[in-house]
């Protein structure tokens, strides 16, 4: 299938299409935060490291189409993990957005999008013996030593310190787009909003969109809007 057919018909683009469509349903003057998985990649072969994998041609195409669908009335800023496919995704979204007259800025790598204070090769080794879902629940309940990985809630709150506070510097009607990996996106969705991970793993370009209000958070997750009270630690964080 060509890029347009993949965008319109592929199963893995369903969430990405929903995110594009829902952006216009947030209040007109709001600043929106998107946290998304990178675009399409292949599975690694025996001789490849998953960290080295880049986007496929269709991954590039769909990221650009995603960018073309964002509203030109808003400006965008793009942040990404240090891994190349996340940078490629951010670059492609910006290229697509600018191709239809949008204005945006590639801001570069952001620590929480790929770093949870893990010991070298922790993630590579842990998934040899545990499923990602088992790992997530064990991380959340404090199963692993803090010498190996930052405690779950500490990681999530530190990420909010960077990502949530960062939206303050965006232009009015701006969108901050953060390109990360499935495991970090699932962790932040769980740790920020109390939405537990499930067997339906995050597709390429899937993610969440939300707006921070004075007393609550307006969140779009999968196919629904939710209104979630601000967590106590966020109230404390912004008061400092």
SS3 114: coil
The DSSP secondary-structure symbol of 224 reads: E
Measured on CA atoms in the order 162, 13, 25, 192, is the torsion positive or negative? negative
Domain count, the chain: 1
What is the mean pLDDT of the segment spanning 64-90? 97
Tens digit of each residue's pLDDT (9 = 90 or more) over 179-202:
999 999 999 999 999 999 987 889
Take residue 77 and report the two structure tokens written for it: 């800023």
Q: Which residue has the higher pLDDT, 68 or 42?
A: 68
Closest Cα to residue 164, out of 24, 35, 27?
Answer: 35
Take residue 202 and report the two structure tokens written for it: 């995050």
Strands (E), the chain: 32-37, 75-80, 103-109, 174-180, 207-212, 216-221, 224-229
What is the mean pLDDT of the segment spanning 112-121? 88
Structural domain boundaries enclosing 171:
3-239
Q: Is the pLDDT of residue 49 over 90?
A: no
Take residue 97 and report the two structure tokens written for it: 């957005």
SS3 45: coil
Tens digit of each residue's pLDDT (9 = 90 or more) over 127-169:
888 888 999 999 999 999 999 999 999 999 999 999 999 999 9
Residue 234's CATH number: 3.40.50.1240
């Amino acid at each position: 299938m060509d890029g347009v057919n993949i965008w319109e018909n592929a199963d893995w683009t369903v969430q990405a299409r929903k995110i594009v469509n829902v952006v216009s349903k947030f209040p007109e003057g709001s600043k929106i935060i998107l946290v998304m998985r990178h675009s399409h990649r292949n599975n690694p072969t025996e001789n490849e490291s998953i960290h080295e994998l880049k986007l496929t041609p269709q991954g590039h195409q769909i990221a650009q189409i995603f960018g073309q669908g964002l509203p030109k009335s808003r400006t965008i800023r793009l942040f990404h993990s240090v891994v190349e496919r996340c940078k490629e995704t951010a670059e492609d979204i910006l290229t697509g957005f600018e191709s239809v007259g949008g204005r945006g800025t590639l801001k570069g790598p952001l620590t929480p999008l790929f770093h949870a204070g893990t010991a070298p090769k922790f993630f590579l080794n842990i998934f040899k013996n545990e499923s990602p879902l088992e790992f997530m629940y064990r991380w959340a309940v404090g199963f692993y030593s803090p010498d190996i990985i930052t405690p779950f809630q500490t990681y999530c709150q530190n990420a909010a310190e960077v990502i949530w506070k960062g939206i303050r510097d965006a232009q009015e009607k701006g969108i901050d787009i953060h390109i990360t990996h499935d495991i970090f996106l699932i962790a932040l969705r769980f740790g920020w909003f109390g939405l537990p991970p499930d067997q339906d793993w995050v597709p390429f370009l899937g993610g969440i969109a939300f707006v921070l209000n004075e007393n609550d958070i307006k969140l779009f997750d999968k196919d629904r809007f939710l209104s979630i009270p601000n967590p106590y630690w966020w109230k404390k964080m912004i008061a400092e």
